[in-house]
């Protein structure tokens, strides 16, 4: 079984997701269900660390990330030395390239 570590940003992401659903959408029950689902999905990685899809096949930026889709959210993680490091948990519609790498992808004019 792999070890699981969440980065400080991942903790903030989870808290922000919960707060947004509780306060902005005024739905504390849904917030709990969604956060529980995210945590369960991440915990499942300890048994199946390579179950996430490799991000290097999706973007032209060298990286070691894998990602796991959990409902409307995406968990971005690395698997290093039998340790799963969850770096971010982002809303699926968000610009994850900018959030993960701090760069804005180029748009083709073709």
CATH number of 14's domain: 3.30.2310.20
**Measuring CA to CA, which residue among 76, 74, 78, 64 is closest to residue 94?**
74
As for how many domains the chain has, the answer is 1
Whether residue 63 is contained in a domain is answered as yes
Greater confidence (99 vs 49) lies with 49
Domain that holds residue 67: 3-92
Whether residue 17 is contained in a domain is answered as yes
Contacts of 76 (CB under 8 A, 6+ apart): 55, 65, 66, 67, 86, 87, 88, 89, 90, 96, 100
Whether residue 56 is contained in a domain is answered as yes
CA distances from 85 to 2, 38, 104 (A): 10, 15, 24
pLDDT tens-digit map of 29-67: 999 999 999 999 999 999 999 999 999 988 988 999 999
Whether residue 104 is contained in a domain is answered as no
Whether residue 110 is contained in a domain is answered as no
Percentage of the residues of the chain whose pLDDT score is greater than 70: 94
Whether residue 88 is contained in a domain is answered as yes
Whether residue 102 is contained in a domain is answered as no
**Measuring CA to CA, which residue among 73, 67, 66 is closest to residue 92?**
73
Whether residue 103 is contained in a domain is answered as no
Question: What predicted TM-score, i.e. pTM, was given to this entire model?
Answer: 0.89
């Amino acid at each position: 079984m792999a070890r699981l570590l969440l980065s400080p940003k991942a903790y903030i992401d989870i808290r922000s997701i919960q707060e947004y659903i509780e306060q902005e959408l005024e739905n504390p029950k849904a917030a709990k269900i969604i956060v529980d689902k995210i945590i369960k999905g991440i915990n499942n990685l300890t048994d199946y660390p390579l179950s996430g899809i490799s991000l290097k096949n999706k973007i032209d930026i060298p990286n070691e990330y894998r990602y796991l889709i959990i409902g409307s959210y995406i968990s971005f993680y690395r698997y290093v030395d039998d340790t799963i490091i969850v770096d971010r948990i982002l809303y699926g519609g968000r610009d994850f390239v900018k959030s993960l790498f701090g760069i804005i992808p180029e748009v083709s004019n073709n």
